[in-house]
Structure 1
């Protein structure tokens, strides 16, 4: 169940500074905070598996990349999404180490693990927002359909 928080419209900077003194996670959608549901154990296990394998392959190939879980991607003027996983070049985060973990530069790869409450968000909204950012590759991992959709920006 997704719910909106507060009627106030937030700027991107206000979103980055927002602290309701809980462990709640929010996305910024058209200036409104949207509370994200806790992840399922299946989603967490899939994301762990993918992150472990991405990190191992990045290390094996000696690539200057890092893989983050549940970090943000700025997708618009008053929009920021929490991605299940993404990969970015190390230099993209080095100068921002003490800032909120929201990249304002499109990642190389974004991955979303679909859950019952995130179907339209992952297949529709994030898909179009990530395409608008020209993220080179977007994976939609759907355990309910036992399917992985790989979308490439061309």
Structure 2
């Protein structure tokens, strides 16, 4: 029996990788993980949250930037994730202008992941631990399958989770004046 070994990539090789397709890849322990196209509900929730965050950033007069599904976050030596949505600081906003691959080496202000049916453990377990190690202060897990949203806040290196369902108003320290319910988000 012939055993073939999968190619593993360094972070630098990952940044330079292009396969002439429109696929996006995350890097997990040196392995390229293709990102499948989003489901309809996934895409609708992402655009809805992008619009909400963008409007709130503008209303508050902040020089932050909401970016859906196109900026990566380096989470370890051979790991990089592409959250469904990130909120960038003014410094990060300026730094991605000159990047050949938009992958942050620093923590975004907030990251959002929308749970997909095929891999919920990625968002609840793996990304949760990677984002905590990276120091992302606020992490949202939007779960249209279980009809809930988890807001995770980084406290002394670990996430403390609060779950919201139904018509509960989500509480976000990053956007404390936001009045948004789980029902509104899931009905996007």
TM-score by length of 1: 0.93
Once the two structures are TM-superposed, the CA of residue 118 in structure 1 deviates from its matched residue by: 2.6
Is the Cα contact below 8 Å between 2:64 and 2:93 reproduced in 1? Answer: no
What residue in structure 1 maps to residue 82 of structure 2? 82
Count of paired positions = 149
SS in 1 for 2:83: strand
C-alpha displacement at 1:90, in angstroms? 2.1
Q: Which has the higher contact order (CA 8 A, sep 6+)?
A: 1
Give the equivalent residue in structure 2 for 1:3.
none
Query: Which blocks of at least 5 consecutive residues in structure 1 are unaligned?
Result: 1-5
CA distance in structure 2 between the partners assigned to 1:86 and 1:96 by the alignment: 13
In the alignment, is residue 137 of structure 1 matched against residue 138 of structure 2? yes
Q: Give the TM-score normalised by structure 2.
A: 0.76
Distance 2:72 2:146 in 1: 26
- Kindly report the root-mean-square deviation, in angstroms, between the aligned alpha carbons of the 2 structures: 1.2
User: Structure 1: which 4+ aligned runs deviate by more than 3 Å?
Assistant: none
The equivalent residue for 2:107 is 106
- SS of the equivalent of 1:86 reads strand
**Which runs of 5 or more structure 2 residues have no equivalent in the other structure?**
156-188
Q: Is the 8 A contact 2:29 2:79 kept in 1?
A: yes
**Offset at 1:150?**
0.2
Q: Determine helix, strand or coil for the equivalent of 1:140.
A: strand
Q: How does 1:118-133 map to 2 (within 5 A)?
A: 118-133=119-134
CA distance in 1, matches of 2:103, 2:67: 10
Q: Which has the larger radius of gyration?
A: 2
CA distance in 1, matches of 2:118, 2:62: 35
Deviations 1:52-73 (A, max 9, x none): 0000000000011101111211
Matched residue, 1:54? 53
